[in-house]
Amino acid sequence: WERPDSRPIRQRLLVVANRLPVSAVRRGEDSWSLEISAGGLVSALLGVKEFETRWIGWAGVNVPDEVGQKALTRALAEKRCIPVFLDEEIVHQYYNGYCNNILWPLFHYLGLPQEDRLATTRSFQSQFTAYKKANEMFADVVNRNYEEGDVVWCHDYHLMFLPEYLKKYNNKMKVGWFLHTPFPSSEIHRTLPSRSELLRAVLAADLVGFHTYDYARHFVSACTRILGLEGTPEGVEDQGRLTRVAAFPIGIDSERFIRALEVPQVQEHIKELKERFAGRKVMLGVDRLDMIKGIPQKILAFEKFLEENPSWRDKVVLLQIAVPTRTDVPEYQKLTSQVHEIVGRINGRFGTLTAVPIHHLDRSLDFHKLCALYAVTDVALVTSLRDGMNLVSYEFVACQDSKRGVLILSEFAGAAQSLGAGAILVNPWNITEVAAAIDQALNMPHEEREKRHRHNFEHVTTHTAQQWAEFFVSELNDTVIEAQQRTRK
Ligand code: ADQ
C-alpha cells in the first residue's frame, strides 16, 4: 500500500496494533509469503495523506528461530510493516487469556466466561503479567523504530499499557490510543482486579479516542470514580496534566463498495443470487462468529417470526455468513455448535424438500461476493449484544443505493448512534421485538424505505474511514501543541 501520490513526506505515523495487516505463511527456512488483509484500518490509514505510515504488530505466527525472524522482518519491511515476535506461551497468556478471555467479554458487558469463572479468576495474575510483558515487547519495537517527530497511534484493548511504556521511554513522544470496542460503564470496569493500573496506563497518552460519546463518558467516569481524578469537558486532569478524551466515530471506505458494484464479476454474482432466490425476500447477517454479535438470538428471533407468520415461510430466506474467529478458545467452539444446532432445528422444522429458511455459512466471503450479497439483500439483521461500532451495517448501506433495503440494528452497537434514524432499532435480547421488526421491515412501504435509506447513505458516504483517521491524527497533533503552549505559560 504505497502512498498514491508523490507529495513530500512531512511526518511519520507509527500505527501499533496487535496484528499486522498481513498474514505470513512460511515457505522455507528463510522465505515467507505475505497476504494483505485489507481491513477497515488499512484503508482508513491509507487516506491519511499527510503522513508516511509504518505498521508495528504481531504477524500472527510463532517464529522461534533467528533465521526465520530475520527473513520475515525483511519481507515485511517491503510492506512497511515491522514485526513484534511473541512466543507461544505469551500468545496463550496475553492474547487468548487476558485479551480474549478477560478484557473482550468484560468490555462487551458479557462478564467472565460462564463455566470458567473461578479458573479465570485464578489464572488472572499470570495472564495480567503476560499482558504487561507483551505490551513491553511492543513498546520495545516502537522505541527501536521511533524517530523524532513521529506520531504513534496505539490501537485497541490489547495495548492499554503501551502509552505508559512509551512515555516512560520518551516523554516527548506524541502518543494517541484508540479503542475499537465499547468502553463499559465504570461499574463494570471496576470489577477488574487491574482496573486502576489499566486506566493510569492509558492516561499516559496525549489523546484517548472512542467510537462514541458514551464510551468516552464511561472512561472519564471510571477515571473520576476509581482513580479520584478530575473529569473535564476536555478529558481527564491529573495534577495539571490533561489527557484529552474524545469521540472519533469510525467509518468505511464507502467509495470502494460503491465502485465494486459496477465490476462485471459482482454484477454476475448479483444476477446469480437474484435467480437463486427469485420469489423470496432475502435477509442477511454477516458477522465474525463471536458471542458479542448475538447470532443465536438473531436466529431465534427469525424462528419466532416464521412461527407467527406462516404466510411468509416460503417467501423469505435468512443468509447468515459467520466467519469463525478465535477457534482455539473453548467458548467460541461452544458457540459454533450452538449455532449449528439451532439452525439445524429450525431448518428441520420449517424446511421443505426443496428449500430451507436459513442458509448458514461458517466462512469468510471474498470482497466481491460480499458486495453482491449486500446489494441483493432486502433486510439486513445486525443484532450485536454489544459492538464498538459495527462496520457491516455501514457496508450494507453503501451497497443499497438501488435497492433501498431495510437495516435492523441493535441499539447496543455504536452504529445505532449514527444510523439510528434510518434503521429500525431493536433490543437484541428481546426476540419478540426483533421478530416484530422483521415483520415491519418486510412490509415497509417504498417511500419509507427510501427516506430511511437516504439518511443512512448520506451518513455512510460523508463520514468515511479516511476522515476518521485524519481527524484523529490532526487532533493528536493539536493536543500536543496545546499542551506545550500550556507548559510554556
Ligand atoms: P469487528 O468486531 O470485526 O470489528 P465489524 O465492525 O462489523 O466488526 O467489522 C467486521 C469486518 O469483517 C467487516 O468489514 C466485514 O465485512 C468483515 N466480515 C465479517 N464477516 C465476514 C465474512 N463472513 N466474510 C467476509 N468478511 C466478513 C471491531 C469492533 C467493531 C468496530 C470495528 C472497527 O468489534 O465494533 O466497528 O472493530 O473499529
- What pLDDT digit, counting tens, does each position of 190-210 carry? 999 899 999 999 999 999 999
Q: If you search the block for the grid coordinates 435497492, which residue do you land on?
A: 403
Question: For the residues 155-184, what does the mean pLDDT come to?
Answer: 97
180, three cell numbers: 475499537
- Nearest residue (by CA) to ligand 1, atom 8, is 390
Please state the atom number of ligand 1 nearest to the C-alpha of residue 370.
Answer: 25
Ligand 1 atom with minimal separation from the 180 CA: 38
Burial class, 35, CB count within 10 angstroms (exposed 0-12 / middle 13-18 / buried 19+): exposed
Task: List the residue whose alpha carbon is closest to atom 3 of ligand 1.
Answer: 288
Mean pLDDT across 323-330: 80
CA angle (66 as vertex; 61, 68 as ends), nearest 5:
45
Q: CA-CA distance, 281 to 314, in Å (whole number)? A: 9
Percent residues over pLDDT 70 in the chain: 94
Whether ipTM tops 0.95, in short, is yes
* Ligand 1 atom nearest to CA at 293: 2
Kindly state if the Cβ of 287 falls inside 6 Å of ligand 1: yes
Q: Which helix (H) or strand (E) holds 322?
A: strand 316-324
Mean pLDDT of 171-190: 96
What pairs with residue 318 in β-bridges? 283, 358
Whether this model's pTM surpasses 0.90:
yes
Interval between CA 268 and ligand 1 midpoint (Å): 25
Query: What are the angstrom distances between the C-alpha of 220 and each of 85, 235, 389, 486?
Result: 34, 7, 19, 22
How does residue 115 score in pLDDT terms, banded at 50, 70 and 90?
Answer: low
| pLDDT of the residue at 3 | 45
pLDDT at 86 > cutoff 60 = yes
- Taking CA atoms only, the protein residue closest to ligand 1 atom 1 is 390
Instruction: State the sign of the Cα–Cα–Cα–Cα dihedral 23, 286, 251, 199.
Output: negative
3-state secondary structure of 230: strand
Going by pLDDT thresholds of 50, 70 and 90, the confidence category of residue 123 is confident
Summarize pLDDT for 365-382 with one digit per residue, the tens.
Answer: 999 999 999 999 999 999
Give mean pLDDT, residues 412-428. 97
The count of other CB atoms within 10 Å of the CB of residue 148 is 8
Q: Work out the mean pLDDT of the chain and round it to a whole number.
A: 92
Ramachandran sector of residue 377 (left: φ over 0; alpha: ψ -120 to 50; beta: rest): beta
Label residue 39 by pLDDT band (50, 70, 90).
Answer: low
Confidence (pLDDT) at 388: 96
pLDDT digits (tens, 9 = 90+) for 329-341: 778 889 999 999 9
Query: Cα–Cα distance between 261 and 222 in angstroms, integer?
Result: 44
Q: Is the CB of 293 under 6 A from ligand 1?
A: no
Residue 383 has pLDDT above 50, yes or no: yes
The sign of the CA dihedral 121, 414, 318, 363 is negative
Q: Which atom of ligand 1 is nearest to the CA of 367?
A: 25
Q: Report the alpha-carbon distance of residue 219 to residue 199 in Å, rounded.
A: 8
Q: Is 221 exposed, middle or buried (0-12, 13-18, 19+ CB in 10 A)?
A: middle
CA distance 223 to 186: 8
Mutate to test the pocket of ligand 1, among 106, 288, 371 (most ligand atoms within 8 A of CB): 288
Atom of ligand 1 nearest to the CA of 366: 25
Q: Do β-strands 51-58 and 11-19 pair in parallel, antiparallel, or remain unpaired?
A: parallel
pLDDT for 116 equals: 62
d(CA 318, CA 323): 16
Unique residue bearing C-alpha cell 513522544: 173
Q: Please state which of the ranges 140-144, 234-238, 273-277, 466-470 shows the lowest mean pLDDT.
A: 466-470
Pocket test for ligand 1, best of 291, 360, 391 (most atoms within 8 A of CB): 391
Partners of 178 in beta bridges: 155, 209
In sequence order, the 6+-apart residues with CB closer than 8 A to the CB of 475 are 207, 209, 244, 246, 248
The pLDDT assigned to 1 comes to: 39
**What local confidence, expressed as pLDDT, does residue 2 receive?**
43
Residue found under cell 524517530: 147
288 close to ligand 1 (CB < 6 Angstrom)? yes
Question: pLDDT category, 82, cuts 50, 70, 90?
Answer: very high
pLDDT given at position 360: 96
Q: Specify whether the CB–CB gap between 360 and 339 falls below 8 A.
A: yes
With a 6 Å cutoff on the Cβ, whether 250 touches ligand 1 is: yes
pLDDT digits (tens, 9 = 90+) for 250-297: 999 999 999 999 999 999 999 999 999 999 999 999 999 999 999 999
For 303, what's the count of Cα atoms within 13 Å in the CB-facing half-sphere? 16
- pLDDT given for residue 325 in this prediction: 82
Helix (H) or strand (E) holding 123: helix 117-145
By mean pLDDT, which of 268-272, 353-357, 424-428 is the weakest? 353-357
Using an 8 Å Cβ cutoff, are 281 and 442 in contact? Answer: yes
Q: Which residues of 269-303 are buried (b: 16+ CB within 10 A; e: fewer)?
A: bbeebeeebeeebbbbbbbebbbbbbbbbbbbbbb
Q: Closest Cα to atom 27, ligand 1: which residue? A: 364
CA angle at residue 217 from 134 to 150, to 5 degrees?
A: 45
For residue 382, the ligand 1 atom closest to its alpha carbon is 7
- The percentage of the chain sitting over the pLDDT mark of 90, rounded to a whole number, equals 80
